[in-house]
Every structure is written in C-alpha cells, then in structure tokens.
Amino acid sequence: MESFGNKIRKLREAKGLYLRQLAAFLEIDQALLSKIERNERRAQRGQVEQIAQFFDIPKNQLITSWLSDKVFYEIKDEEFAIDVLKEAEKKIKYGLTK
C-alpha cells in the first residue's frame, strides 16, 4: 500500500520537479515537504487540496489517501484496530442515514 507521502513524492518526481518548486507553491519550507514525503510529518488538509490543484488531480483522490494515513497512524498499534474500523464504518453509515 502506498502512503500519502509516497504518493506525493511520485507525483512530484514524475513531473521532474524539485522539492523547492512544490514547497514554494504550498508556501512551506522544503524541509517540511521532505518530512511529509517521508511520512515523518502530516500535511494539513488545505495543503492536500493545494497539492491536488497543483497536480491537477481529483481532490478526493488525495484526501482519501491522506485521511486513510491519518486513521492508520492513529490506531495502528491498537490490539483491536480492525474492530475499531468496523465500528467506525457502522457509525458513519448510521450517521449518513439519519
């Protein structure tokens, strides 16, 4: 499975761009972008949307990857992580039908 950071790095490298070019667009330091690409830091939602705009890709594609990483890192060490995900899915479905 590909992490959000790896996805961003691949998009950037496929376009032949330097870290500093994408970082300048996002108005962040290239060291921070490097940490995001290495999954050492989490991007903010607004940055995710800006990245989608920069690469002209559907916003939901990147937000899905970003959110799944966010959930993963939050519960990955929990003994009942799969059960937590199943319960959350039920709650989301219930919330949508209300």
Q: How many domains does the chain have?
A: 1
3-state helix, strand, coil in the chain (%, to 5): 75, 0, 25
In the predicted model, is pLDDT for residue 22 greater than 80? yes
Comparing 4-8, 16-20, 74-78, 92-96, which segment has the lowest mean pLDDT? 92-96
In the predicted model, is pLDDT for residue 98 greater than 70? no
Q: Which residue has the higher pLDDT, 26 or 1?
A: 26
pLDDT of residue 41: 95
**pLDDT, tens digit, 9 for 90 and up, residues 47-96:** 999 999 999 999 999 999 999 999 999 999 999 999 999 999 999 888 86
Terminal Cα distance for the chain, rounded = 33
| CA nearest to 39, candidates 75, 81, 85, 73 | 73
- The reply to whether 44 falls in a domain is yes
pLDDT of residue 47: 97
CATH number of residue 51's parent domain: 1.10.260.40
| CA nearest to 11, candidates 50, 68, 69 | 50
**Residue 24, domain extent:** 4-73
- The reply to whether 82 falls in a domain is no
